[in-house]
């Protein structure tokens, strides 16, 4: 027989029906696909599965023992006749599960009391009992001496007889129960060539004491001990991390090979004038990252950098300094924001920070100044024409906008730097669309900013094609924020106290936010609440700002100047409300209390606001709450954040809120947040390919592996960009890229 290769189609070895079932149900097409379909867990002979852990609707394979059987009669609705139903109760010693077979009472012959087997099916519920209907099963031979047991018929039983103490349980489908997969894997393993090409370089394996690929695959599918499994899993995690980091290192290398115009600011320009005007000192981190960025900008290859950091750490300022440097070097900088509100806010704050420097051409403006253009969907008519013209002529050195900037019609005079704010809402493709607007012979430099802090390994995986800079330090003079959970169901008086606190703060000249998870009114849509609904069903609708506004204005907040802000308002209305809130209490049309939805989540910067009350706080995610809370504590006065919830203590929802109240460290919260999510959600939707290719690797847990793999993969790619020295790695990279492409095609 010809030697088996990992790239061979499964039907060559398994026969068409099995190959088709594996392809249809599990998308496994090649030998490698099947070998990389790792067991989810291992059933241990003599140890039954904990039946309490089964989740409704999940496809499960359990090892359990038959407790009793019972034949019941029921009326078949179709035929109108009586029929019989076999109910088999199986147990793990404590919990129970019912197996139901309609019109198959002959199965009693095999399924007698005391019999142990693997049962596989989808968990359903009938009369409050969890059950499997018509499960597939294989029964363990009766005798305890397994290897000597009477030979049974069929591949399934062969697998059970040969499997050691640990029986692999695979992610399975109805057509392909776990043991059929095991049997297919067994056939492939028996033909595996001795010298299997290994994508992990020998030197890496040696340095980290990792088994070779063949050994790892044998051990993960046919382990003899828990140590076998652990060693195999370690090695396979390395595979995933290394291949992924190789792809990312190649992307970084390719990107850095593109041409870019070096942007070195002329002395005595805007940047210097701006710095002279700054009312505060830069933080150590801002200085350091600023130097890194100006070094990047001075290169003849484009910068691709991620700037992430604690909420309120002053990322915008770092970005603005980079933009000014580019303007001083004769180029233009674009700032791309995910929402209209945020674009307006950036435009407003950048214009304010620049002062006369942003008023070139206007009376009183500075000679060295520039113009800050704003281009969003709602900038229309003559105003839009003017902005487009200023962008095209280079009159506007800085351009702030939303997706509208990506349109074909928008052309830049000389786009040198693209800053993407709050990257998690932008896709890679959009970044690319903007990058394409630079001069034909060069690419712009790119700086990406995230809204919330993210753990280092997540940054290395999700944004792995970018270099990462992090701001951890907050500017001096920030006042601390105290956060409390307000249990409004148990302690309604606490909520009353919250309104009193708002009145007190406004009385002292401060301002307040009240945040709601829903807009309300006609359309009953939630606004951007990113937390999954908890499992309790039939929860009441989240509190809505429009439904509460009147009540508060006439009641608890009577006499204060209150305004409403939400995503369905027209953008000039939004802009007006934000302007009045930012103008503060001393302004004749100022606003004291802003009742808002999550439109204020990111970017909004009003240092005089010192209280935030978040209604139905349990409806928000941890990172979202941290980001919201970052809207206060921006000035010299102590701030207070109140998380109002009806969730009882001890529930997961309450625990999340307690976590937010307990720390103001965004990195810690981000970890906490991500740990409670599934891996795919950690990586985000734009990373679908990476999701499916990460089977063993967990981005948060396997920090060591990811960091080490990144270093070694980068070194390898630098020395050997085409991976000529490790052909199997080259193929693995291709596989990953194909997966990525397939996902991309599916999406588009
Ligand atoms: P984030 O990193 O969350 O985007 P911002 O860029 O919005 O933070 O900055 C928050 C506020 O801090 C802004 O008002 C900004 O002007 C101010 N700020 C930035 N850097 C400093 C500094 N070094 N000292 C004092 N205030 C600063
Ligand atoms: Mg910001």
Pairing of strands 96-102, 129-133: parallel
How far apart CA 362 and CA 370 sit, in angstroms, is 10
Q: Compute the C-alpha angle 569/359/417, nearest 5°.
A: 75
Name every residue whose Cβ is closer than 8 Å to that of residue 737 and which is 6 or more positions away in sequence.
247
Nearest residue to 467 via CA among 444, 498, 445: 445
Backbone torsions φ then ψ of 555, nearest 5 degrees: -110, -105
**d(CA 721, ligand 2 centre) in Å:** 37
Q: Please name every residue paired with 645 in a beta bridge, in sequence order, or none if there are none.
A: 487
Q: Does pLDDT of 748 surpass 60? A: no
Does residue 679 surpass a pLDDT of 90?
Answer: no
Side-chain-side CA neighbours of 680 within 13 Å: the count stands at 7
Lowest average pLDDT, out of 127-141, 323-337, 395-409, 685-699, goes to: 685-699
The average pLDDT across 459-468 equals 80
599 CA to centre of ligand 1 in angstroms: 19
What φ, ψ does residue 730 adopt, rounded to 5°? -55, -40
Q: Which ligand is nearest to the CA of 308?
A: 1
Residue found by looking up tokens 């997961």 in the block: 652
User: Which atom of ligand 1 lies at the shortest distance from residue 449's CA?
Assistant: 4
For residue 480, pLDDT over 90 is answered with: no
Give me the sign of the Cα torsion angle 102, 107, 113, 115: negative
Pair 123, 57: CB distance under 8 Å: yes
Other beta carbons less than 10 A from residue 526's beta carbon: 16
Name which residue sits closest to atom 12 of ligand 1, judged by CA.
Answer: 314
Q: Tens digits of per-residue pLDDT, 636-662?
A: 899 999 999 999 988 888 999 999 999
Q: With a cut of 70, say whether residue 735 has pLDDT above it.
A: yes
Looking from the CA of residue 309, the nearest atom of ligand 1 is 2
pLDDT of residue 391: 95
Three-state secondary structure of 267-326: CCCHHHHHHHHCCCCCCHHHHHHHHHHHHHHCCCCCCEEEEEECCCCCHHHHHHHHHHHH
Report CA-CA distances (Å) from 8 to 5, 138, 537: 5, 30, 48
- Residue owning the nearest CA to atom 20 of ligand 1: 314
Kindly list the protein residues whose Cβ atom lies closer than 6 A to any atom of ligand 1: 280-283, 286, 309, 311-317, 475, 605, 630, 634
pLDDT band at 77; cut points 50, 70, 90: confident
Atom of ligand 1 nearest to the CA of 315: 2
Which of 317, 350, 630 is the best mutation target for the ligand 1 pocket, counting ligand atoms within 8 Å of the beta carbon and taking the most? 317
The conformation of residue 88, written as its DSSP 8-state character, comes to: E
**Between residues 479 and 745, which one has the greater pLDDT?**
479
Question: Which residues surround the ion ligand 2 when the cut-off is CB under 5 Å?
Answer: 316, 603
**Strand (E) positions, 439-488?**
445-449, 467-471, 481-487
Question: What per-residue confidence (pLDDT) applies to 602?
Answer: 59
Query: Can you tell me the distance from the alpha carbon of 67 to that of 191, in angstroms, rounded to the nearest whole number?
Result: 40
Residue located nearest, by CA, to atom 25 of ligand 1: 475
Is a pLDDT exceeding 60 seen at residue 583? yes
Q: How far is the CA of 402 from the centre of ligand 2 (A)?
A: 15
Q: Could you count the other beta carbons within 10 Å of the beta carbon of residue 510?
A: 22
The neighbour count for residue 71, using CB atoms within 10 Å, is 11
- Residue 365 has a pLDDT of 55
Torsion sign (Cα): 563, 564, 570, 576: positive
Compute the distance from residue 247 Cα to the ligand 2 centre, in Å.
Answer: 30
Work out the percent of the chain whose per-residue pLDDT is above 90.
49
Greatest Cα pair distance, the chain, in angstroms, is 99
The ligand with the least distance to the CA atom of 321 is: 1
If we measure between CA atoms, which residue out of 378, 422, 427, 376 comes closest to residue 399?
A: 376
Pocket probe mutation, ligand 1, options 284, 306, 312, max atoms within 8 Å of Cβ: 312
Closest CA to 708 of 216, 201, 302: 201
Please give the Cα distance from 552 to 595 (Å, whole number).
10
Which residue's CA is the closest to the ligand 1 atom numbered 17? 314
d(CA 546, CA 615): 13
More confident residue, 92 or 682: 92
Nearest residue (by CA) to ligand 1, atom 26, is 475
Cα 91 to averaged position of ligand 2 atoms, centre (Å): 55
CA of 712 to the centre of ligand 1 (A): 36
Tell me the CA–centroid distance for residue 313 and ligand 2, in Å: 8
Give, to the nearest 10 degrees, the angle between helix 652-662 and helix 622-629. 40
Measure 604 CA to ligand 2 centroid, in angstroms.
8
User: What pairs with residue 486 in β-bridges?
Assistant: 644
Q: How far is the CA of 451 from the centre of ligand 1 (A)?
A: 13
pLDDT band at 684 (very low <50, low <70, confident <90, very high): low
For residue 577, pLDDT over 50 is answered with: yes
- 487 pLDDT band, cuts 50/70/90, is very high
Measured CA distances, 372 to 359, 382, 576, 717, 747 (Å)? 8, 17, 19, 41, 36
Nearest CA to ligand 1 atom 19: 314
Band (426; pLDDT cuts 50, 70, 90): low
Q: Would you say residue 287 has pLDDT above 80?
A: yes
Per DSSP, 138 falls in state E
Nearest to 641 by CA among 621, 619, 657: 657
| Ligand 2 centroid from CA 470, angstroms | 13
> Could you tell me if 646 and 487 are in contact, meaning their C-beta atoms sit under 8 angstroms apart?
yes
Question: Which atom of ligand 1 is closest in space to residue 605's alpha carbon?
Answer: 14
Say whether pLDDT at 741 is over 70. no
Between 1 and 292, the higher pLDDT residue: 292
Q: What is the tens place of the pLDDT at every residue in 431-458?
A: 666 667 766 678 899 999 987 788 877 7
Name the residue with higher pLDDT: 234 or 142.
234
Q: Whose C-alpha lies nearest to ligand 1, atom 18?
A: 314
Give me the helices (H) in 589-641, please.
622-629
**What Cα–Cα distance (Å) separates residue 515 from each residue in 1, 43, 544?**
69, 49, 9
**pLDDT for position 681:** 57
- Mean of the per-residue pLDDT values for the chain? 85
Cβ neighbours for 283, distance < 8 A, ≥ 6 positions apart: 313, 314, 471, 473, 474, 475, 476
| Residue 145 pLDDT class (50, 70, 90 cuts) | very low
Q: Rounded to whole angstroms, how far apart are CA atoms 610 and 509?
A: 10
pLDDT of residue 323: 97
Q: Which atom of ligand 1 is nearest to the CA of 353?
A: 16
Decide: 622 and 673 in contact? Cβ < 8 Å: yes
Query: Residue 482, Cβ neighbours under 10 Å: how many?
Result: 13
Residue 148 has pLDDT above 60, yes or no: no
pLDDT digits (tens, 9 = 90+) for 121-139: 889 988 888 899 999 888 8
Higher pLDDT, 367 or 694: 694
Counted residue by residue, the chain has a size of 748
CA distances from 52 to 56, 128, 317 (A): 11, 14, 53
pLDDT score at 716: 96
The H-assigned helical ranges of 152-225 are: 154-162, 178-190, 202-208, 213-221
pLDDT in the model for residue 458: 78
Whether 597 contacts 517, CB under 8 Å: yes
């Amino acid at each position: 027989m010809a030697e088996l290769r990992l790239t061979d189609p499964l039907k060559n070895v398994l026969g068409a029906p099995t190959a088709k079932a594996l392809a249809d149900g599990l998308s496994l097409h090649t030998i490698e696909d099947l070998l990389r379909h790792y067991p989810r867990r291992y059933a241990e002979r003599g140890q039954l599965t904990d039946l309490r852990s089964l989740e409704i609707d999940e496809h499960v394979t359990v090892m359990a023992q038959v407790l009793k059987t019972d034949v019941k009669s029921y009326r078949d609705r179709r035929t109108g006749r009586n029929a019989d139903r076999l109910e088999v109760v199986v147990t793990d010693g404590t919990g129970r599960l019912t197996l139901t077979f309609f019109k198959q009472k002959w199965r009693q012959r095999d399924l007698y009391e005391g019999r142990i087997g693997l049962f596989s099916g989808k968990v359903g519920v009938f009369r409050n009992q969890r059950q499997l209907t018509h499960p597939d099963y294989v029964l363990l031979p009766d005798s305890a001496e397994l290897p000597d047991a009477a030979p049974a018929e069929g591949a399934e039983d062969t697998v059970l007889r040969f499997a050691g103490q640990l029986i692999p349980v695979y992610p399975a489908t109805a057509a392909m129960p776990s043991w059929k997969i095991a049997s297919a894997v067994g056939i492939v393993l028996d033909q595996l060539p001795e010298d299997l090409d290994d994508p992990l370089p020998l030197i890496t394996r040696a340095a980290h004491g990792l088994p070779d690929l063949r050994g790892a695959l044998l051990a993960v599918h046919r382990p003899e001990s828990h140590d076998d499994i652990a060693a195999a899993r370690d090695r396979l995690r390395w595979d995933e991390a290394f291949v992924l980091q190789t792809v990312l290192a190649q992307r970084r290398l390719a990107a850095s090979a593109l041409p870019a115009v070096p942007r070195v600011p002329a002395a005595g320009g805007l940047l210097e004038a701006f710095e002279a005007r700054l009312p505060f000192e830069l933080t150590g981190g801002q200085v350091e990252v600023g130097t890194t960025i100006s070094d990047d900008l001075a290169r003849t290859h484009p910068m691709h950098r991620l700037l992430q950091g604690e909420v309120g750490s002053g990322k915008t300022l770092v970005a603005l300094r980079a933009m000014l440097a580019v303007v001083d070097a004769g180029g233009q900088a674009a700032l791309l924001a995910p929402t209209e509100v945020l674009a307006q806010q950036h435009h407003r704050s950048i214009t304010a920070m620049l002062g006369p420097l942003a008023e070139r051409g206007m009376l009183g403006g500075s000679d060295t100044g520039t113009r800050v253009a704003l281009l969003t969907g709602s900038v229309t008519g003559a105003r839009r024409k003017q902005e487009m013209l200023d962008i095209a002529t280079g009159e506007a050195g800085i351009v702030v906008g939303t997706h509208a900037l990506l349109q074909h019609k928008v052309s830049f005079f000389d786009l040198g730097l693209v800053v993407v704010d709050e990257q998690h809402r932008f896709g890679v493709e959009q970044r690319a669309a903007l990058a394409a607007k630079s001069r034909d012979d060069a690419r712009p430099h790119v700086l990406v900013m995230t809204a919330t802090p993210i753990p280092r390994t997540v940054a290395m995986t999700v944004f792995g094609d970018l270099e990462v800079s992090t701001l951890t330090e907050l500017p001096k003079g920030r006042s601390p924020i105290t956060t409390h959970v307000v249990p409004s169901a148990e302690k309604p008086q606490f909520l009353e106290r919250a309104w009193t606190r708002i009145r007190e703060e406004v009385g002292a000249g401060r301002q307040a936010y009240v945040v709601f998870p829903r807009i309300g009114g006609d359309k009953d849509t939630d606004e951007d609440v990113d937390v999954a609904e908890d499992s309790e069903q039939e929860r009441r609708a989240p509190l809505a700002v429009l439904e509460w506004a009147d009540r508060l204005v006439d009641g608890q907040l009577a006499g204060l100047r209150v305004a409403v802000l939400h995503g369905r308002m027209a953008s000039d209305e939004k802009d007006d409300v934000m302007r009045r809130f930012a103008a503060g209490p001393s302004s004749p049309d100022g606003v004291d209390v802003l009742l808002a939805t999550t439109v204020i989540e990111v970017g909004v910067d009003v240092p005089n606001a010192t209280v935030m009350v978040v209604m139905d706080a349990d409806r928000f995610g941890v990172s979202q709450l941290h980001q919201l809370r970052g809207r206060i504590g921006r000035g010299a006065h102590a701030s207070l954040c109140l998380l109002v919830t009806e969730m009882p203590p001890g529930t997961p929802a309450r625990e999340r809120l307690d976590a937010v109240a307990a720390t103001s460290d965004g990195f810690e919260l981000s970890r906490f947040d991500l740990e409670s999510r599934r891996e795919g959600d950690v990586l985000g939707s734009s990373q679908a390919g990476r999701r499916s290719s990460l089977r063993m690797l967990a981005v948060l847990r396997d920090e060591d592996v990811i960091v080490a793999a990144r270093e070694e993969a980068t070194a390898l790619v630098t020395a050997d960009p085409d991976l000529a020295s490790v052909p199997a790695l080259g193929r693995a990279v291709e596989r990953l890229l194909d997966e990525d492409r397939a996902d991309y095609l599916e999406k588009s």
